[in-house]
């Protein structure tokens, strides 16, 4: 299981790949799943493996394919896209939007997405922008999730939109089916600190 995903370079751990595959298998028929931040396709392939069991599903991968600005081994976007395409060539239900997350969201119909997985840039402002851009695209009671819970900036950004008691975390993946809403900044920081202490 997950042999294709594990063969691809990336930072998502095997336990997290297994969780992504399980979440994908739990999606309804004809589900639309969006992965924001796909890099070389490691987590994409895990989600795709789970969606193989879901009739009529569609997986949309969104990325610039240039890598994180802080990485020393960044690639040119065309080269990054070529690597991704080779790694995911066997996924027949995959669609790709090459570009920045916020601009890509404009190409997706409102209330059409069953699950959005956010794993693009991990700074505070970028995560806020991603959640804000993709929130209108997710169906009522759809699943929001992302990678790197506990990383500086990510948890605070997530807590701007989702109450702590509406967030589930496994490994470093956060999940919520709550309707996103903004929360006061000072309260967010205090809640994030308490939640992170509890999960440490």
- Map 130-179 to HEC letters: HHHHHHHHEEEEEEEEECCCCCCCHHHHHHHHCCHHHCEEECCEEEECCC
Where residue 184 falls among pLDDT bands split at 50, 70, 90?
very low
For residues 161-170, average pLDDT: 95
Superfamily holding 3-199: Vaccinia Virus protein VP39 (3.40.50.150)
Q: Taking the model in full, what pTM does it have? A: 0.89
Tokens of 51: 């969606």
pLDDT tens for 110-129 read 999 999 999 999 999 999 99
The average pLDDT across 142-151 equals 96
Q: Kindly report the average pLDDT of the chain as a whole number.
A: 91
How long is the chain?
A: 200
Higher-confidence residue of 47 and 191: namely: 47
Among candidate residues 129, 135, 77, the one with its CA nearest the CA of residue 102: 129
Q: Is the distance from CB of 19 to CB of 1 less than 8 angstroms?
A: no
Task: Specify burial of residue 69 (Cβ count, 10 A radius: 0-12, 13-18, 19+).
Answer: exposed
- For the chain, the structural domain boundaries read 3-199
> What is the β-pairing status of strands 168-170 and 94-98?
unpaired
Q: What are the tens digits of pLDDT across the range 58-102?
A: 999 999 998 776 655 667 899 999 999 999 999 999 999 999 999
- Rounded average pLDDT over 48-53: 98
Whether 33 and 24 have beta carbons less than 8 Å apart is answered as yes
Can you tell me the distance from the alpha carbon of 79 to that of 68, in angstroms, rounded to the nearest whole number? 14
Q: Is 8 in contact with 41 (CB distance < 8 Å)?
A: yes
3-state secondary structure of 31: coil
Question: CB-based burial of residue 30 (10 Å sphere; 0-12 exposed, 13-18 middle, 19+ buried)?
Answer: exposed
Chain segment 26-46, per-residue pLDDT in tens: 999 999 999 999 999 999 999
């Amino acid at each position: 299981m997950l042999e294709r995903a594990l063969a691809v370079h990336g930072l998502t751990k095997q336990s997290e790949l297994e969780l992504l595959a399980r979440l994908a298998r739990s999606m309804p028929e004809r589900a639309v799943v969006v992965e924001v931040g796909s890099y070389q396709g490691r987590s994409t392939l895990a989600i795709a493996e789970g969606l193989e069991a879901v009739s009529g599903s569609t997986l949309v991968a969104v990325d610039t394919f240039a890598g994180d600005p802080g990485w020393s081994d960044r690639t040119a976007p065309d080269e990054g896209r070529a690597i991704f395409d080779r790694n995911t060539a066997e996924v027949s239900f995959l669609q790709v939007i090459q570009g920045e997350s916020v601009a890509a969201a404009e190409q997706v119909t409102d209330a059409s997405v069953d699950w959005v997985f956010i794993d693009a840039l991990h700074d505070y402002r970028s995560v806020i922008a991603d959640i804000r851009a993709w929130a209108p695209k997710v169906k009522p009671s759809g699943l929001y999730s992302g990678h790197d819970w506990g990383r500086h900036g990510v948890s605070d950004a997530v807590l701007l939109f989702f109450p702590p008691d509406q967030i589930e975390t496994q490994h470093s993946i956060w999940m919520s089916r709550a309707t996103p809403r903004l929360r006061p900044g000072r309260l967010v920081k205090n809640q994030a600190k308490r939640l992170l202490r509890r999960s440490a």
